[in-house]
Amino acid sequence: MKISQYRKLKEDYKIVLWDIMPYDFDKKFGSEKSLAILKKKIRPGSVIVLHDKPASMANKIIREFIPYALNMGYRFEVVV
């Protein structure tokens, strides 16, 4: 992305970059590995990418990950 494109987008949007990709979209990768990535990589301020496509394993891993993260003292917020 060119700096001019960034500046134009910044006028109308808040740009947020993610730092954790658990590969929830890849069935060959497996939900256990995806969950392990989330547990290992989470840190304060993390932005996690999860996919909403039918092939995604996000629904499987999120049920275990959210209680885990809350128990570790993390919280979830909406970026506005």
Half-sphere exposure of 37 (CA within 13 A, CB side): 19
pLDDT tens digits, 55-70: 899 999 999 999 999 9
Domain ranges of the chain: 14-71
* pTM for the model: 0.78
pLDDT per position as a tens digit, 6-34: 889 889 888 888 999 999 999 899 999 99
The one-letter amino acid at 21: M
Does residue 28 sit in helix, strand or coil?
coil
